[in-house]
Chain A
Amino acid sequence: GAGVSQSPSNKVTEKGKDVELRCDPISGHTALYWYRQRLGQGLEFLIYFQGNSAPDKSGLPSDRFSAERTGESVSTLTIQRTQQEDSAVYLCASSLASWDEQFFGPGTRLTVL
């Protein structure tokens, strides 16, 4: 079946602009995660959605970052007033439940000029 998909695959933006990244999880997966992967750093957890529960936003690095998820489907990660340090690959993953194997999408490569 279809895996996790993300769009766009690449995004180049200018400093100060807002960007919106999209994730389509595997159908039926109630858990959804966003991560950031910067050069020379390990994966950083950003935010977690589980069904209709309140999201775990503990990994968001600043209030410029926000995310939404509609039910158990699509999620969008929004970065406002982008900075050069936001340049990274943003990965989305989904799993049946929080302790099950997570499946990653291919990521969105964000470059902030």
Chain B
Amino acid sequence: QKEVEQDPGPLSVPEGAIVSLNCTYSNSAFQYFMWYRQYSRKGPELLMYTYSSGNKEDGRFTAQVDKSSKYISLFIRDSQPSDSATYLCAMSKDNAGNNRKLIWGLGTSLAVNP
């Protein structure tokens, strides 16, 4: 079993839909959770960062962490064609040396159709 599971999709939705992207994980020690967006032929870019449990909102994006269920979600409201990309979750146990300790999901490919 992989430490981080993410359905690769593809996920196709109409413009304006609410999108829910999810990852599950097996290591209860994970505390730092991130969502990256990766456009085709580009590198990933950090979208959302959360520590421990709870919600975090930034514009149309909401990141949610449920540590009891070992489940994280990214919600996109009023989705736009420009949101079409691959969304990767990443997580780690500690902040020191965080970036190279990240465990990554496979990424979910999202297409928002006009």
The answer, among B88, B95, B96, B99, for a CB contact under 8 Å with A95, is B99
* Chain A residues whose C-beta falls within 8 Å of the C-beta of B95 in the assembled complex: 99
Mark the stretch among A13-21, A35-43, A65-73, A79-87 that contacts chain B.
A35-43
Number of B interface residues at 8 Å Cβ cutoff, please give it. Answer: 25
Determine whether the beta carbon of B88 is less than 8 Å from that of A45: no
Q: How large is the interface on A (under 10, 10 to 19, 20 to 34, 35 or more residues)?
A: 20 to 34
Determine whether the beta carbon of A4 is less than 8 Å from that of B43: yes
Determine whether the beta carbon of A104 is less than 8 Å from that of B99: no
The answer, among A42, A91, A98, A105, for a CB contact under 8 Å with B99, is A98
Say whether, besides A4-B43, A93-B43, A98 and B97 are in contact (CB < 8 Å): yes
Determine whether the beta carbon of B97 is less than 8 Å from that of A104: no
Chain B 85-114, CB-CB to A under 8 Å as 1, else 0, gives 000101000011111111111110000000
- The interface residues of chain A, by DSSP majority, are classed as loop
Determine whether the beta carbon of B102 is less than 8 Å from that of A41: no
* Chain B residues whose C-beta falls within 8 Å of the C-beta of A4 in the assembled complex: 43
* Chain A residues whose C-beta falls within 8 Å of the C-beta of B45 in the assembled complex: 103-104
Say whether, besides A40-B106, A42-B4, A31 and B43 are in contact (CB < 8 Å): no
* Chain B residues whose C-beta falls within 8 Å of the C-beta of A105 in the assembled complex: 43
Tell me, in angstroms, the Cα distance from A19 to B3 when the chains sit together.
32
Tell me, in angstroms, the Cα distance from A42 to B88 when the chains sit together.
9
A107 at the interface (CB under 8 A from B): yes
**B interface residue numbers (CB < 8 A to A):** 2, 4, 8, 41-46, 49, 88, 90, 95-107
**A interface residue numbers (CB < 8 A to B):** 4, 31, 33, 40-43, 45, 48, 56, 59, 91, 93, 95, 98-99, 101-107
